[in-house]
Structure 1
């Protein structure tokens, strides 16, 4: 089969389109015929060699943590899935990725693909959707009736975060630039703050229970966001300073 791999760390020029052996699913695994993968920031950081500590990969490595595709074969002991099922999943970050015609995935990380979008487009869902979910509910414990500020809601994670927070019954204040403000509003935000025209902390007139920061802010800007959180509230931050 064909796959995209890199044999050394570096910029996108290290990627090679080449022939590799098609994998065979083992016990508890599923062979997926790949419809698409998506390259996120973490994929670029892995390829660049910046994540060798937390995410050690074996070279040559096939990137692509997100996957959408069709179940092609089942390993021993797999239940709940059938050949022909359309699925999406978030692959193990240090394992072989989905930039290939086929990929083997643990059965437990796969879920039915949404039917509202084409199967290749669904590959854009897992990493960003799970990031939003984990931030809001696993870490912040967001609940109905709470107020949440999503700083940097114009990106992919922010768009999902707005929708998930509204669906959970929260009051959502979202910041975005002029190009994405309309999209963020249509996603369900109760208030949309244009961060290019208004200081975020000045726009939040009542304390919030949760701040989810998705913007690439400086440490001082992140500290300023603490001032809008009520006592006992939570700040979840995705910014990494390297």
Structure 2
């Protein structure tokens, strides 16, 4: 049996609005990274754009998945604790499993790309890690808890990398980035606890939104100070979030 709805009934649809805001933030950062690459010709900007772009697309699949679920269930007369087998859901609508799978894969792959920007590895290691992401997704799918535990581990690694970079460089934007990814990682803990209470799902969505809001503030800061008269000094202090 696979539980398909983790949100309280009163929160149906509101998580979709939160995800739309997250998509806006991610797209803004991806576009800014592309613009920065055109100016500085640093490939790390392209990898950042790829990572945040993939995250934005993954949220689109999540929205499609949730909209499909909420729409089907709201048509029913009873909206209590709804649990159906994955097989039944797949037989009734192929949109759900496809959206679910792409949401998982794109999210995990995007976070791995973000991690690999600062943790340089050989091509063979990259290929191995990507293969393991695909295999673990296939074997655990559609286990909700395995996905969020895996995402928690990856985000914790990203947070560690940015924290270490901040300790070495003292760049303020890197500090904000470490905070933001730490907050997003913490949100996964609340998603894991939904079996205790579905109100943890609401808390997880809100905490995740706060994390992306901190990322947006970092983006605005870099954009703002990058246009000041003392461009060189501010870029060195604030733009380190985007470079190695």
Question: By the TM > 0.5 criterion, same fold?
Answer: no
What TM-score, normalized by structure 1, do the two folds share? 0.27
More strand by share: 1
More helix by share: 2
Structure with max Cα Rg: 1
Q: Which has the higher contact order (CA 8 A, sep 6+)?
A: 2
